[in-house]
Amino acid sequence: MRPKEGFLVFILISLFFIPAFGETTTPDQPSDQQIGDFSLSGYGDKGKKSWNIAGKTADIFTDEVKLKDVDGNLYGKDEDVNLTAKTGNFNKKDGKVHLEKDVVITTSKGAKLTTDSMDWDRNKQLVTTEDKVNIAKDNMNITGTGAHGEPNLKKLALNKDVTVDINPTQSSAAKSDELAVKDKVTITCDSSLEIDYEKNIATFNKNVLVDRGDSQIYSDIMHLYFSAGKDTKQADKTPGLMGNNKIDKIVAQGNVKIVRGENTSYSEEAVYTASDKKIVLSGRPKLVFYSTEDLKNASFGN
């Protein structure tokens, strides 16, 4: 998911909440003003609508605005973004926005992010949540606990307990169940998943495991390099983990172990390149093979 698919929706929120008001009130106090079925819109060049936000009610306090049934849209050049939440709270003093209960961000290209709550610090340009996050698009699903994003730097990270499931495509699913299982890929790590949309890199940290059913790759760190999309259809040039998902290269580093059946390799680094489908092991590589063949007459070189 690139910034337009996730981060720009928070620009929508910040545009709506630019006005400032004055003194503090407690949540139990009645609001200074309540608006029912409110709706606001913003327009860009040539009078084209650029965003709109609506809600069932808005309770306007001196220092904050409380929203119910938030529904916002951002209309971009390449895709549109929709955000919904049961409740929202805008602190007019520090400009922070807190969304809660069934927070859902969807894009016109099919990406969907769900979480229980989300905070947006406009001054620090930081989006955060401590709750479980789920991101889904096409045949890919990503889950993790906690997330933070930096829109200006075009970076997003899931904090820990990350799982990425890449399921068989429809064409693969039409095959036998055995083949479909082999098409499925699951990537897990104990620490963070960091996505850099500028560089098209996703980095998995700590106890990384790539499981393809018939083979597994273990490492301390793993970098996935995605295609820049030059040969990708215009309809989906979104890079890495939320777009075409075309991997150019995988680099596994630190205590690398590759298991395929009873055969295992060990190394400090393993590099897989998609163009030639080769894996290069470096850093004291060791191969362990098991065979039922009779090797008593086999000859070995020096």
Provide the mean pLDDT of the chain. 77
Do the beta carbons of residue 67 and residue 58 sit within 8 Å? yes
Average pLDDT over residues 263-289: 90
Amino acid at 11: I
Stated pTM of the model: 0.74
Question: Which parts of the chain are beta strand (E)?
Answer: 33-43, 49-60, 64-75, 80-91, 96-107, 112-121, 126-137, 140-150, 155-166, 185-189, 193-196, 201-211, 215-226, 247-260, 263-273, 278-282, 286-288
134/301 Cα distance (integer angstroms):
53
pLDDT computed for residue 32 by the predictor: 65
pLDDT computed for residue 233 by the predictor: 52
Amino acid at 220: D
229 CA to centre of own chain: 18
286 CA to centre of own chain: 35
88/10 Cα distance (integer angstroms):
13
Average pLDDT over residues 160-184: 65
Banded pLDDT at 145 (limits 50, 70, 90): very high
Where do the structural domains in the chain lie, given as residue ranges? 1-107, 125-302
The three-point CA angle 269-272-275 to 5° equals: 155
Q: By mean pLDDT, which of 9-23, 51-65, 229-243 is the weakest? A: 9-23
Q: By mean pLDDT, which of 82-86, 153-157, 180-184 is the weakest? A: 180-184
133/129 Cα distance (integer angstroms):
8
169/186 Cα distance (integer angstroms):
14
- Whether residue 22 has pLDDT greater than 60: no
Amino acid at 94: D
Q: What is the CATH topology of the domain spanning 125-302?
A: lipopolysaccharide transport protein A fold (2.60.450)
Banded pLDDT at 109 (limits 50, 70, 90): confident
Q: For 189-224, how does the pLDDT look when each residue is reduced to its tens digit (9 = 90+)? A: 999 999 887 888 999 999 999 998 888 999 999 999
Of 202, 132, 207, 192, the C-alpha closest to 166 is 202
Tell me which range, 14-28, 33-47, 184-198, is most confidently predicted by mean pLDDT: 184-198
Banded pLDDT at 41 (limits 50, 70, 90): confident
pLDDT computed for residue 57 by the predictor: 87
Of 290, 287, 284, 289, the C-alpha closest to 265 is 287
Phi, psi of 16 (to 5 degrees): -70, -35
Phi, psi of 243 (to 5 degrees): -115, -125
142/242 Cα distance (integer angstroms):
9
- Whether residue 42 has pLDDT greater than 80: no
Which pair of structure tokens corresponds to residue 6? 């996730």
Sign of CA dihedral 64, 99, 148, 226: negative
